[in-house]
A = this chain, B = another copy of it.
Amino acid sequence: MAPSASTNKRFLLAARPEGRAVVESDFKLDVAPVSAPGADQILLRTLFLSLDPYMRGRMSAARSYAAPVELGAVMTGEVVGEIVESRAPGFAAGDIVLAHSGWQEYAAQPAKYVERVDRSQLGDLPLSYLLGVLGMPGATAYFALDTIGRPRSGETVLISAAAGAVGQVAGQIAKLKGCRVIATAGAADKLAYVTQELGFDAGIDYKGKDAEALAAAIAAHAPAGLDVFFDNVGGVTHDAAMMNLALHARIIICGVISAYDRVGQPDIGTRWNRQLLVKRALMQGFLVSDHRARWPEFRMQMAAWLRQGRIRYREDIVDGIEAAPRAFMGLLAGANRGKMLVRVAA
């Protein structure tokens, strides 16, 4: 199977959004020839590109858990692709692979950096799930709850960004464990989705609420306090949750999407030390790549849950690589409905 085109549309990082929101001109659409694969490389055609909040961090020069994308380099991102040409033993044209080849239609990649997908593991489940519920966001929900949150039956769990790629899975796992699950999100239809479709117990719209009002809304749904707080956002929601901790609460610091545009400025943070002490709570940062060794276990469990209908999953797919910047800005603004993906090729 040869490339259907000789050109490769791709997005380069054109400017760093430091202390401000991402704008479209931070990305530059570039058209380059399709690279030929070198020795021990494969050439892949991108089928799906995943758009994830962590990419906001890579656009910034601030030190984080991974190096920033260089100015002028292809924007980083995980993809599902199909091999169109292989110069690597054990890889063949037509194979489906996972790669970190970024925002582009084609990429030549060293074979050692790609993972070949065993389609028999997927069964009827769509390939795109490998970038979501069966990939990084799903593994994030699964391992953060397994290693930090440890929800027990009867406990109360608050999930922020509950309709997002991580939140929708985390809340459903907590329900499977017998917990009461409270969601926060920034739109009524997102809350309707997680409460009516996914079975979460209560939903709170954070928009227009300050920390005190949000804390009161949480308290109304969790009078005995929060045993687990799965935080994907930080900021005001974090503060409100910290005012509602149960004894021995576990707080998963998984994302700080609300703070990405405010690097170098203080987090909002009130009364945290005191609350952690009084409630003997545990607050821990989480990065899914620390748990790579256990992904086979995760994928097997999650695929089973999906096939059994015990976990449901929603995607928000836009078409064509050209749509990536706007879709990513929408993701950061909370406009997506489910896991954000770009279908780069059919």
Chain A residues in the interface with B (C-beta under 8 A): 63-65, 231, 234, 238, 253-256, 259, 263, 266-267, 269-287, 290
- Tell me which of B255, B266, B281 contacts A284 (CB under 8 A): B281
For A280, list chain B residues within 8 Å (CB). Answer: 65, 284-287, 290
For A279, list chain B residues within 8 Å (CB). Answer: 65, 285
For A272, list chain B residues within 8 Å (CB). Answer: 267, 269, 272
In the complex, are the beta carbons of B273 and A256 less than 8 A apart?
A: yes
In the complex, are the beta carbons of B285 and A277 less than 8 A apart?
A: yes
- Tell me which of B255, B263, B269, B273 contacts A253 (CB under 8 A): B273
For A256, list chain B residues within 8 Å (CB). Answer: 273-274, 277
Q: What are 7 sample pairs from A and B whose C-beta atoms fall under 8 A apart?
A: A65-B278, A253-B277, A269-B272, A275-B285, A276-B284, A276-B285, A278-B285
In the complex, are the beta carbons of A273 and B267 less than 8 A apart?
A: yes
A228–chain B nearest beta-carbon distance, Å? 14
Most buried by B among A254, A266, A277, A290: A277
For the A-B complex with A267-B274, A269-B272, A278-B285 known, give 10 more contacts whose Cβ atoms are closer than 8 Å.
A253-B273, A256-B274, A259-B273, A259-B274, A266-B271, A267-B271, A267-B272, A279-B285, A280-B286, A284-B284
A158–chain B nearest beta-carbon distance, Å? 15
- Tell me which of B270, B277, B283 contacts A286 (CB under 8 A): B277
Bound complex: CA of A19 vs CA of B276, how far in Å? 20
